[in-house]
Structure 1
Amino acid sequence: MSTIHTVAARAGVSSATVSRVMNEPHKVREATRIKVELAMRELDFSRNSFAASLASRRSNCVGLVVSHLSSAFFAPLVNEIEEAVSAVGSYLIVTCGKNSEEEVAGGLQFMRQRRCDAIILYPGQLSDQALAEILLGNPQVVVIHRTVPGFATRCVQLDNHTGGRLAAEYLLRCGHHAIGVVAGPHSNPESMQRLSTFRDTLQAAGVALPTERVIEGSFHFESGRQCMAELWTAQPALTAVFCLNDQMAFGALNYCRSAGIDVPSQLSLIGFDDVEYADLIHPRLTTVHHPVAALARTAAQLALRLAVGESLTEPQDLLVPHLVVRDSVRTLS
């Protein structure tokens, strides 16, 4: 039976180098790694992952806990994280359907049982206090979509305030004053950040956003459709609606089509996220671009640094959104 020592002898390297190729290939020169991998194939050597993890105290696995995978937002997020993790020879373990505090706790426990070296966590509806407790007790956890006070070195988030301001400024430039909002859950800090700055920007321009023009959705397609139906029934004089994510904007557009409301000639729609399908639907959706790829890569790199025992000392900068103008908003004359 081949061993790490016979592989080392065949490749002409030390046993420590073979170990690094198996556990930390990104730290080995490419020529050496190729030579060791060739020797492993020639000797039909297969590493015992469990034994290796016991010896190194590392599993070469990063965990990712998210609320779901069904939306056009989370799929590219997971893909980008997986690519970053696999590029250094590690593996990504994903668990989804985690939104409540109990579900997230279960997801974290699942990852710990699988000896993940680090965990990336989407917080769902968790409070900052609950997240702070998780981060305090789990030094290898990185949080995305939330900045928790006292833990900014391990949090990666979009500048939602800037995103809300960009949407408001564009609708104002296009001459819209009768504006409605399909918001996310009031318990979701990101939704509240986008909404508060959107409202403040309108008010600074002398345009009111009464509470009856704001309706709470759940960030899903069907809630966008239902909220748009309710909002239009109660506020038929609206000229524009800001949906706080693209999934709800797609649902709102679906309702408009079924109700015979032409977008954008009768009603303008603007979304948030700029998911892949935003440029494929008709009319093409004007939206605030969320740099998901940058968020995913940043979170993955932080997790990989924590996985090898590195200390993070610098707070993470907020990711900056930008407006993508397409066809779903009309300029009023």
Structure 2
Amino acid sequence: MATIKDVARHASVSIATVSRVINEPDKVRELTRKRVETAMQVLSFSRNALAASLVTRRTGCIGLIVPHLAGAFYTPLISTVEQTVRAAGSHLVISCGNSTQDEVLAALRFLKQRSCDAIIVTPGALDQDSLGTLLAAHPNVLVVHRLVPGYEHRCVVVDNHQGALLATEHLIAQGHQRIAAITGPRDNPESADRLRGMLNALIQTGLPVPTSYLYEGDFTQQSGLCGAAALMALPEPPTALFAFNDQMALGVVDYCKRHGVSVPDQLSVMGFDDVEFSDLVSPKLTTIHHPVEAIGKTVGLLALKLAKQQPALGESFVISPSLTLRESVGALN
């Protein structure tokens, strides 16, 4: 069996260089790294991960806790995180099916037992106090989609408030005054931030905010359809409808097609997330672009820093969304 000394001799480098290629490949020049990797392949060299971890105190594994693998957000997020950590020579270990507080904590214990160098958590039903306790106890854990006071340097979030503000201001600029919303669940922090942004835009313009114009959905297409039915049945229905994600916006468009409501001539529809199907529907969906790839890359790089015990103290990871203009919002005649 080939040893690290054999690899160093074959590649004409030092043992220390081979060790860096194995443990910190990003610190080795590409030409040298490729020469060492070629020598490993020729000699069928296999790294002893257990022995290496005892020396480096690292396993080269990054953990990720998510509620599920599918979906317009989690699929590209997981893919981007995996690409980012793999480029640095690490591997991603995923625990999925975690939404409740007990499930998230059980997944955390599972990944800690496997000595992951850093763990990325999408918090699901974990409340702020529980998240604060978790971050205090585990310095190598970071959170996606939740800002925890005192731990901003270990939280990666999109500015949901700013995104909803942009969406609502655009609807107002198009002449709409009767603007309704299909929100997410009332205990969902992202939905709460989006609602706050929408209401701030309306209040700043002096427009009314009738509670009858707020329908609580659950981020599914079916709840968008049901929300549209309820809101359009009002004595004075809205002229614009802001769905807090694109799946619900698609449900609104579906309702309109079933009931002969022209989009955007009779009802303007705004989404949030800019998922891959949003420009495939007819009319193409005007929405807020949720930069999932940027979030995934930021999360991956931050996890790699925490794995090396390099906390990003003083840094903030709030990523700005943007407005994507397509066809589903029109000027009010």
**Range of TM-score over shorter length:** over 0.9
The one-letter code matched in structure 2 to 1:59 is T
Q: Which amino acid aligns with 1:208?
A: P
Task: Name 1:218's counterpart in structure 2.
Answer: 218
Inter-partner Cα distance in structure 2 for 1:177 and 1:311: 46
Aligned-partner Cα distance in 2 for 1:286–1:22:
47
Confirm or deny that 1:45 pairs with 2:54.
Answer: no
Deviation of 1:53 (Å): 2.5
- Structure 1 residues 139-173: Cα deviation after superposition (integer angstroms, max 9, x where no partner): 11111111100001111111222111111111111
Q: Using the TM superposition, give the Cα deviation of residue 236 of structure 1 relative to its aligned residue in structure 2, in angstroms.
A: 6.2
Structure 1 residues 111 and 180: CA distance shift in structure 2, 3 A: same
Partner of 1:32: 32
Alignment of structure 1 residues 230-269 onto 2, 5 Å: 230-234=230-234, 237-269=237-269
Identity among equivalent pairs (%): 48
**What CA deviation, in whole Å up to 9, does each residue of 1:82-101 have, x standing for no partner?**
11111111111222222211
* Residue 294 of structure 2 corresponds to residue 313 of structure 1: no
Distance in 1 (alpha carbons) for counterparts of 2:330 and 2:23 = 56
Q: Normalising by structure 1, what TM-score?
A: 0.95
Find out whether 1:60 has 2:60 as its counterpart: yes
Between the aligned partners of 2:84 and 2:254, the Cα distance in structure 1 is 36
Contact 2:153–2:317 (8 Å) recurs in 1: no
Q: Distance in 2 between matches of 1:285 and 1:188?
A: 24
Q: Secondary structure at the match of 1:157?
A: strand
Aligned residues: 333
Q: How does 1:42-191 map to 2 (within 5 A)?
A: 42-191=42-191
Query: Per-residue deviation at 1:214?
Result: 0.7
Does 136-145 or 43-52 show the bigger shift? 43-52
> In the alignment, does 2:303 pair up with 1:298?
no
Q: Tell me which residue corresponds to 1:323.
A: 323
Code of the aligned partner of 1:267 = L
Range with greater deviation from structure 2 (297-306 or 218-227): 218-227
Cα contact 1:71–1:247 (8 A) shared by 2: no
Which whole-Å CA distance do the structure 2 matches of 1:143 and 1:105 have between them?
13
What value does the CA root-mean-square deviation take over the aligned residues?
Answer: 1.7
Note the alpha carbon deviations across 1:21-77, whole angstroms, 9 max, x for none: 112111112222122112212211112223323332211111111222322122111
Distance in 2, Cα, partners of 1:92 & 1:222: 33
* Paired position in structure 2 for 1:194: 194
Paired residue secondary structure (1:5): helix
Contact 1:143 1:155 (8 Å CA) reproduced = yes
- 1:156 alignment partner AA: V
The SS at the match of 2:254 is helix
Mapped partners of 2:263, 2:62: distance in 1:
43
Aligned 8 A contact 1:213 1:235 in 2: no
Amino acid aligned to 2:63:
G
Q: How much does 1:202 deviate?
A: 0.9
TM-superposed deviation, 1:231: 2.8
Cα separation, 2, equivalents of 1:329 and 1:56: 55
Q: Which runs of 5+ in 2 are unaligned?
A: none
Distance 1:172 1:144 in 2: 31
Deviates more, 1:107-116 or 1:232-241: 232-241
Contact 1:180–1:213 (Cα < 8 Å) also in 2: yes
Give the letter for the 1:276 counterpart: E
**Secondary structure of 1:298 counterpart:** helix
Alignment CA distance shift 1:102-1:234 (3 Å): farther
Distance 2:241 2:280 in 1: 20
SS of the equivalent of 1:129 reads: helix
Q: Distance in 2 between matches of 1:113 and 1:257?
A: 52
Cα deviation, 1:279-319, whole Å, max 9, x if unaligned, reads 12111111111222221111111110110111221231421
CA shift digits 1:197-217 (9 cap, x unpaired): 211211222221211211111
Runs of 4+ in 1 over 4 A off after TM superposition: none
C-alpha separation in 1, matches of 2:291 and 2:112: 29
Which amino acid letter does the alignment assign opposite residue 74 of structure 2?
A: F
Q: Which residue identity is paired with 2:143?
A: V
Residue in 2 that maps onto 1:14: 14
- Cα displacement (A) at 1:234: 4.1
Q: 3-state DSSP class of the match of 1:318?
A: strand
Name 2:287's counterpart in structure 1.
287
Deviations 1:193-250 (A, max 9, x none): 1101211211222221211211111222232223323333346622111011112111
